């Protein structure tokens, strides 16, 4: 781990085991599990926002729970350095649903004050209340809102409360798991603007998970693309959209309805997402890839480094800067 690295995932996997039959247990069968995250290696540097995108079921939220410590990986290592004071780095998570992530029996003051008390960041009720008021104003609410209950607020206001609660713990690292997907479009813009301002002013290091390419494009410094549990591409935000290297990334960009305002047609990705309990052999994307050849069906592609320090997993060296250049499979050049 270098001095600039904040979070390092080293070959992390997570397998959800299903109940095995008596015969499988007697045979000591190794089958019966769904590999939600498969051999993911990833680094998040100090002060940057790392975006993670992919279809539903690709393993994004499982990876968020692994990073946040809500569950343990089946294999691999997740490393955080100590913070500036030499203590263990503090981590907070902002969840997808602002309605279910707040306790309706607690006042907003109690909700936001809880991490302050747990981490002993302030002493005395007056100092804690002053910090709660400060955080509420910081996220665009009023200090008077501290006396209210979650059910008295809209979805966007509840998510602001969730952000205030996360900041109350003075985290070194934030995990944001689809923080705007449950909100109306107009409210999404308000929350995203708030998060961008907080990133800039507080120099936050964060992992931002979403399926929305428009969101991750403006929020993240670097972006990782996941498919069926694997990290298939990683690049800076600018490079990923200018010159994607993996076919799945290119197809994701084309499938987003609001990425190109001059093109009003939709371009869904062909085929169905395979069952993660029984992933395809070879390249996991070959069942939906327009470039697939025999090597893709039989051999897992290696991880390749890009000139700018990113990576991608593909047998071929493809120019995917323009979706219209997708050639027939016979014209694909081996890397």
Write the DSSP string, 231-249: EEEEEEHHHHHHS--SHHH
Containing 40, the helix (H) or strand (E) segment is strand 33-45
- Partnered with residue 234 across adjacent β-strands are 224, 311
User: Are residues 280 and 265 in contact, defined by beta-carbon separation less than 8 angstroms?
Assistant: no
This prediction's pTM: 0.86
Taking residue 161's Cβ as centre, other Cβ atoms within 10 Å add up to 24
Q: Rounded to the nearest 5 degrees, what angle is found at the Cα of 267, between the Cα atoms of 264 and 273? A: 150
Check pLDDT > 70 for residue 23. no
In this structure, are strands 91-94 and 173-177 parallel, antiparallel, or unpaired?
parallel
Taking residue 118's Cβ as centre, other Cβ atoms within 10 Å add up to 10
Q: Given this model, what pLDDT does residue 292 score? A: 92
Q: Given this model, what pLDDT does residue 131 score? A: 97
| CATH architecture observed for domain 5-89+172-331 | 3-Layer(aba) Sandwich (3.40)
| Residue 204 C-beta-side C-alpha neighbours within 13 Å | 30
Q: Given this model, what pLDDT does residue 333 score? A: 43
Q: Percent of the chain at pLDDT above 70?
A: 87
Q: Given this model, what pLDDT does residue 273 score? A: 84
User: Are residues 175 and 93 in contact, defined by beta-carbon separation less than 8 angstroms?
Assistant: yes
Alpha helices in the chain (DSSP H): 22-26, 60-68, 108-118, 125-138, 155-168, 185-202, 213-219, 237-242, 247-255, 294-298
Check pLDDT > 60 for residue 334. no
The helices-and-strands tally (H runs, E runs) of the chain is: 10, 11
What's the pLDDT tens digit per position in 124-146? 999 999 999 999 999 999 999 99
Check pLDDT > 90 for residue 221. yes
Residue reference for tokens 């104003």? 137
Is the backbone of residue 96 left (phi > 0), alpha (psi -120 to 50) or beta?
alpha
Q: Percent of the chain at pLDDT above 90?
A: 64
Cα separation, 56 vs 139, in Å, equals: 29
Taking residue 312's Cβ as centre, other Cβ atoms within 10 Å add up to 27
Higher pLDDT, 18 or 192: 192
Cα separation, 287 vs 91, in Å, equals: 38
Check pLDDT > 90 for residue 22. no
Q: Given this model, what pLDDT does residue 12 score? A: 97
Higher pLDDT, 189 or 148: 148
- Token pair listed for 28: 């000591």
Cα separation, 138 vs 249, in Å, equals: 36
**SS3 assignment for 136-167:** HHHCCCCHHHHHCCHHHCCHHHHHHHHHHHHH
User: Are residues 106 and 148 in contact, defined by beta-carbon separation less than 8 angstroms?
Assistant: no
For range 55-62, the mean pLDDT: 90
Please report which confidence band the pLDDT of residue 79 belongs to, taking 50, 70 and 90 as the band edges: very high
Contacts of 78-86 with CB under 8 Å at 24 or more apart are 78/7, 78/8, 78/9, 78/10, 78/12, 79/1, 79/7, 79/8, 79/10, 80/6, 80/7, 80/172, 80/173, 81/1, 81/5, 81/6, 83/172
What's the pLDDT tens digit per position in 196-217? 999 889 889 999 999 888 899 9
**Where exactly are the structural domains of the chain?**
5-89+172-331, 97-171
Check pLDDT > 90 for residue 66. yes
In this structure, are strands 222-227 and 230-236 parallel, antiparallel, or unpaired?
antiparallel
Q: Given this model, what pLDDT does residue 326 score? A: 56
Q: Given this model, what pLDDT does residue 331 score? A: 42
């Amino acid at each position: 781990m270098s001095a600039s690295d904040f979070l390092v995932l080293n070959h992390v996997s997570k397998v959800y085991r299903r109940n095995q039959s008596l015969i499988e247990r007697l045979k000591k069968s190794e089958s019966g599990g769904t590999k939600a995250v498969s051999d993911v290696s990833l680094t998040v540097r100090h002060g940057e926002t790392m975006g993670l995108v992919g279809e539903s079921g690709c393993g994004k939220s499982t990876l968020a729970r692994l990073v946040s410590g809500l569950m343990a990986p089946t294999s691999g290592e997740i490393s955080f350095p100590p913070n500036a004071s030499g203590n263990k780095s503090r981590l907070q998570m902002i969840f997808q649903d602002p309605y279910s992530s707040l306790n309706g029996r607690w006042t907003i003051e109690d909700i936001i004050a809880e991490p302050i008390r747990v981490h002993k960041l302030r002493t005395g009720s007056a100092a804690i209340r002053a910090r709660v008021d400060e955080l509420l104003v910081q996220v665009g609410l009023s200090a008077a809102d501290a006396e209210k209950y979650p059910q008295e607020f809209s979805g966007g206001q509840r998510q602001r409360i969730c952000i205030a609660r996360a900041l109350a713990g003075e985290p070194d690292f934030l995990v944001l798991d689809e923080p705007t997907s449950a909100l109306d479009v107009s409210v999404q813009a308000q929350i995203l603007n708030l998060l961008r301002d907080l990133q800039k002013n507080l120099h936050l290091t964060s992992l931002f998970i979403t399926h929305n390419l428009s969101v991750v494009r403006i929020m993240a410094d670097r972006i990782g693309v996941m498919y069926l549990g694997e990290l298939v591409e990683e690049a800076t935000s600018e490079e990923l959209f200018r010159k994607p290297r993996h076919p799945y990334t290119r197809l994701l960009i084309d499938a987003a309805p609001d990425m190109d305002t001059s093109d009003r047609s939709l371009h869904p990705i062909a085929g169905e997402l395979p069952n993660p309990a029984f992933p395809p052999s070879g390249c996991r994307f070959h069942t939906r890839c327009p470039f697939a050849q025999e090597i893709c069906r039989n051999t897992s592609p290696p991880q390749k480094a890009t000139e700018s320090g990113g990576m991608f997993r593909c047998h071929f060296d493809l120019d995917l800067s323009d979706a219209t250049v997708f050639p027939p499979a016979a014209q694909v050049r081996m890397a």
